[in-house]
Amino acid sequence: MKDFVAGLPKCELHLHIEGTLEPELKFELAARNGLELPYSSVAEMRAAYTFDSLPSFLTIYYESMRVLRTEPDFYDLAMAYLRRAAEQNVRYAEIFFDPQAHTSRGVPFDVVIRGLRRALMDAETQLGVRAQLIMCFLRDFQAEYAMATLLESLPYKEWIVGVGLDSDEKGNPPAKFAAVYERARQEGYLLTMHCDVDQDDAIEHIRQAVEDIGVNRIDHGVNILEDQRLVETVLARGMGLTCCPVSNGFVTGSLKAEGIRKLMDLGVRVTISSDDPAYFAAYVQENLLALHDALQLSREELAQLQRNAFEIAWLPRHVKDAYVAEVDAYVAG
Ligand SMILES: [Zn+2]
């Protein structure tokens, strides 16, 4: 089964590019930019990756980003992920980036996006991996800052397929960003949003995202199972949920595998992604294997998770069809 998963054509839709910053690259970028890190070795840095909640993860996550300063830094970050993705036969990825995590510490927006964009272009020609960018707003910052970031992104609209919402959900409901999302929709961006696992008011947040904001899909969102009406709405709209089992394990103590199984059985378009693989020590392939260990998934079910992902990907119909045909041919072969 390990070989089957390795060769399966994959689609990753929930991946924070800042969450792919491996310790080795962190040291390299720190040296490049003349910065000191509070760790003497890669092993010591990895040993500090002990998270038991979303906030405890976010503290180390944001602290680490200080090493990202220049356009080549962002290029190297994205290229490193895309190389790993290519090795795992990821055929297509939609990649989150958090501009405010950088502009808030003085790195210009255009430095961030130009570096990422150049890597995406090179990966397509050099590695055969296609990818698009999703711009996320940090929900623990003011809505006005998100709106300003949205406006700042407009000259680069052709390089960004949609918007998302991440960071600490506690006390930061979707409704806080209703005006930002409305403007994003008017500008032609597609819409997604984190509905993190086991949050306070999780169901009300999912309801706001689905019914009030009208997002095209949901990142995480497994708590939707607690509300039959919302499950029916998501099914009726053919919406997808981008689940991340290993990440769930770190921040909630459970992969939420049973919930994922239930969603699959109901016919919800569930997909499996890695979220922040450098911090959770698992890229998409390891996430699929962890879920398989928990649920004993069949080959057909593992293939269906990839079909789901290509189906809900923000791509033209004929491109999706070509990727789904790759999955079908792999399974048949
Ligand atoms: Zn995430």
The answer to whether 98 is a known ligand-binding residue is: no
- Mean confidence (pLDDT) of the chain: 97
**205 annotated ligand-binding residue:** no
Q: State pLDDT tens for residues 183-229.
A: 999 999 999 999 999 999 999 999 999 999 999 999 999 999 999 99
Q: Using the mean position of ligand 1's atoms as its centre, give its distance from the Cα of residue 250 in Å.
A: 12
Q: Is the pLDDT of residue 330 over 90?
A: yes
pLDDT tens by residue, 52-62: 888 888 888 99
- What does the pLDDT look like over 235-270, one tens digit per residue? 999 999 999 999 999 989 999 999 999 999 999 999
> How remote is the CA of residue 14 from the centroid of ligand 1, in Å?
6
Read off the pLDDT of residues 153-178 as tens digits, 9 standing for 90 and up.
999 999 999 999 999 999 999 999 99
Does the annotation list 318 as a binding residue?
Answer: no
**Is residue 220 annotated as involved in ligand binding?**
no
CA–centroid distance, 185 to ligand 1, in Å, is 21
Q: What is the pLDDT of residue 54?
A: 86
With a CB cutoff of 8 Å and minimum separation 6, the contacts of 249 are 255, 280, 290
Domains annotated on the chain, with CATH: 2-332 (3.20.20.140)
Of residues 191, 85, 197, 172, the one with CA closest to residue 134:
191
CB 45 within 8 A of CB 23: yes
The answer on whether 276 is annotated among ligand-binding residues is: yes
Question: How far does the centroid of ligand 1 lie from the alpha carbon of residue 246, in Å?
Answer: 12
What's the gap in Å between 15 CA and the centre of ligand 1? 6
Q: How many angstroms is it from 203 CA to the middle of ligand 1? A: 18
Please report which residue ranges of 282-333 form alpha helices under DSSP H. Answer: 284-295, 299-312, 317-332
